[in-house]
A and B are shown apart, each in its own frame.
Chain A
Amino acid sequence: MNATALIAEDEPLLAQALRQALQAAWPELRVVATVGDGHSAVREALAHLPQAVFLDIRMPGLDGLGAAMELADRWPVDAAPLPQLVFVTAYDEYAVRAFEAQAIDYVRKPVQPERLRKTVARVQQALAARAAAEPAAPAGNGPLEQALAQWRRLIDAAGTGAPGLPASLKFIAASDAGGQTVHMVPVADVLYFEAADKYVRVLTATQEHLIRTPLKQLLPQLDAQQFWQVHRALVVRSDAIETVERDETGRLLLRLRGRPEKLAVSRLYAHLFKAM
């Protein structure tokens, strides 16, 4: 069977150019869908279950990172292995430096054939290794965990933001609905942050506030030991976690001390809660 791929790139000409370059570098590859935004990327990828996804980092609606995180969670791992993930990035994104520093394969715009051939070779190799391993080790969790670890590495590198932000935030300044009062919420009181549409909900044991600063911007300013990202839209205080349970679909759910609700953990971050 020929390998299949999805391309997500919001600039139509660049998408077309990437498609052409891929065709030249990998004639057997079949591009099953070309989309221009993150939500479409998730939808089409789940519909076609390609073996490789090329995601532009900067896209409208849902960006490439968000699309990757959502895909990781919603991918039907029993039907098909997690695809090979390749990020596409413009020359000036911080991710480029992270990719270079960690020797991670990515596609840089404009696509240069020589560089793309290397990436293609790497993806082909990975797919071949997977195909060879599959019959030998049936239904083990090893390959999935390996693939998730690989995705995590890519997503972390791609999410590298501008350096120089203050490392530890002490207060969250949240204005109330009328905009007249600003509540200074000590970060030490926050149990979790949850991204919701245009806002981020800030929850303490007793209260809830809304702020407009995206989670992506907030995260680098929080102490990584104290606050764990457990989902694309969820950052929790690690020492407030009381229980972790698995529901009937295999999803992990967290309960925090002082909060009644259960919070879903992404597959990408399930490794944090492996029993010792």
Chain B
Amino acid sequence: MTALPKLDWRQILRHYLQVVAFCFAIAAINTAIWPDKGYGRQLFYSLIIGSLVWGIIEFGRHLLLRPDDPGGWPQGWRRVGLTAAAIVIGFLVGSKLADMLLGSSGSNWGALLRTDRESRVGWLITVAAGIVGTYYFYSRGHRAALAARVNAAERDASEARLKLLESQLEPHMLFNTLANLRALISLDPERAIAMLDRLDNYLRATLAGARVLLHPLQAEFDRLGDYLALMAVRMGDRLRFTLELPPEARHFQVPPMLLQPLVENCIRHGLEPKVDGGDIRISARIEQRAGHDAGLLLEVLDSGIGLPAPAPAGFGEKGAADASAGGFGLTHVRERLATVYGPRARFSLSARPEGGTLAQIHIPLEKS
């Protein structure tokens, strides 16, 4: 038995007010059927029976609730049983209570179980009202729960997209580029225009990349070229880069901005901290080796300061650990490869013996 869940009293009050309104309506119907008993009396009975039925269901459903039930309602037989029990108990106890309170004569427990027409109709009305009321509250709760779930899923998806966008349109990169652009406008307007075009391309591709699933490798390399050209304006001769894309690999489809995080890491962790800067080489080639499945090999290589020495497994320098900015980028590359190509795609990042890092992505050709 789980502890009683936290009750939302405002919601309960709101429900009860609706029940009261419902009881007024039932009393009106009853008065129409038995005009001789008077509206006041009918309303009194209706309110007491209605309150009891509602009270049993409202609080009972929380007791019967299992953690996996959606919308705050028990599912299946638990719900039907609760409703039936509430209606029976509500009608019997409610009628008796009302009789007692009104000092009505001739009523005993036996009288309530009479089978004459009048009490049959009374039963019928209570059962119908109970079912309609329960269904009304149940479907509302259910709908609200479904809507909440849809909302949460949508929120998760847009959060993931936003996080990716944020990592690509990193404010530091963006504002620094703008600062350089501002300097270029007066120093060298022609280069400023060229830089603005690159920025325009890069922004367009980044925003579109959040929407399409795949694009040709040629487009990927073009965007990397834009990005690196922007960085080269910032870093001057501290950044040198080459892009090697053989014609036969141009049309290979890859997830957009797949290599971007790797190139960003090269710059941020490899070249930026290095006084003399260094080189970045991005290359693609189709591999056809005997005994291996043919595939596309993508390489991002830099001559920066290299990877930090690996921490001993399972230990970090606790409390003083630096949330590595590269972490999200690498995770992102792995996840996208796994999503698009499954386990056959491979990714590795290694330190080059001569200094710097080498990132390799192997993507199998689609024929399998």
Contacts and interface: CB of A to CB of B under 8 A. Distances in A.
A12 B236 contact: yes
A14 interface: yes
Given A90-B175, A169-B319, A14 B310 contact: no
A90 B180 contact: no
A217 B176 contact: no
Interface string A34-69: 001101000000000000000000001100000000
Contacts of A119: none
A37 B275 contact: yes
Interface residues of B, number: 35
Nearest to B322: A217
B356 to A, nearest CB: 15
Interface stretch (B16-24, B136-144, B181-189, B293-301): B181-189
A91 B275 contact: no
B235 interface: yes
Nearest to B276: A60
A175 B180 contact: no
B309 interface: yes
Contact of A180 (B233, B272, B309, B312): B312
Nearest to B274: A60
A180 B158 CA distance: 42
Nearest to A61: B275
B171 A92 contact: yes
A179 interface: yes
B179 A110 contact: yes
Interface residues of A, number: 36
B10 interface: no
Contacts of A211: 317, 320
Contacts of A179: 309-312
A166 interface: yes
Contacts of A169: 319-320
Given A39-B275, A212-B309, A110 B315 contact: no
A213 B322 contact: yes
A179 B315 CA distance: 10
Given A60-B272, A92-B175, A218-B320, A173 B315 contact: yes
Contacts of B182: 17, 110
B187 A17 contact: yes
B122 interface: no
Interface in A3-34: 10-14, 16-17, 20
Interface of B: 171-172, 175-176, 178-180, 182-184, 186-187, 233-236, 238, 272-275, 277, 308-312, 315-322
